[in-house]
Amino acid sequence: MTAVAEAAAPPPPGAALAPAPSCGALFLGFLGLGLIGFGGVLPMARRMLVEERRWLSAESFTELLGLCQFLPGGNVINLSVAVGMEFRGAAGAASALLGLVLGPTAVVIGLGVVYDRFRDDPTLQHMFAGLAAAAAGLLVATALKMLAPLRRNGRALLVVAATLIAIAVARWPLLPSLMVLAPASILLCGRRGR
Partner 1 sequence: MGTLAALAIIFAQLSLLAFGGGNTILPEMQRQVVEVHRWMSAQEFGALFALAQAAPGPNMMVVPLVGWHVAGLPGLLVSALAKFGPCSVLTGVVVGLWRRFKDRPWRRVVQAGLVPLTVGLVSASAVLISGATGRTAGLLGVTAGVAALSLLTRLHPLWLLAAGAVAGLAGAGG
Residues 27-86 that bind partner 1 (CB under 8 A): 34-41, 63-64, 66-78, 81-82, 85-86
Min. distance of Cβ 66 from partner 1 in angstroms? 7
Query: What CA–CA distance (Å, rounded) separates 16 from 10?
Result: 13
The Cβ-side half-sphere exposure at 14, using a 13 Å CA radius, reads: 0
DSSP string, 124-162: HHHHHHHHHHHHHHHHHHHHHHHHGGGTT-HHHHHHHHH
- Looking at 10-18, 21-29, 51-59, 178-186, which segment touches partner 1 (CB under 8 A)? 178-186
CB closer to partner 1 out of 11 and 91: 91
Min. distance of Cβ 130 from partner 1 in angstroms? 2
* Sites for partner 1 among residues 123-142 (CB under 8 A): 123, 125-142
**1 makes contact with partner 1 (CB under 8 A):** no
Query: What CA–CA distance (Å, rounded) separates 146 from 49?
Result: 26
Candidates 178, 142, 139, 140; CA nearest to 162 is 178
CB closer to partner 1 out of 1 and 141: 141
Min. distance of Cβ 154 from partner 1 in angstroms? 11
Q: How many CB atoms lie within 10 A of CB 12?
A: 6
CB closer to partner 1 out of 18 and 105: 105
Looking at residue 87, its amino acid is F
Query: What CA–CA distance (Å, rounded) separates 20 from 138?
Result: 38
* Sites for partner 1 among residues 3-32 (CB under 8 A): none
Selected binder of partner 1 within 17, 111, 117, 121 (CB under 8 A): 111
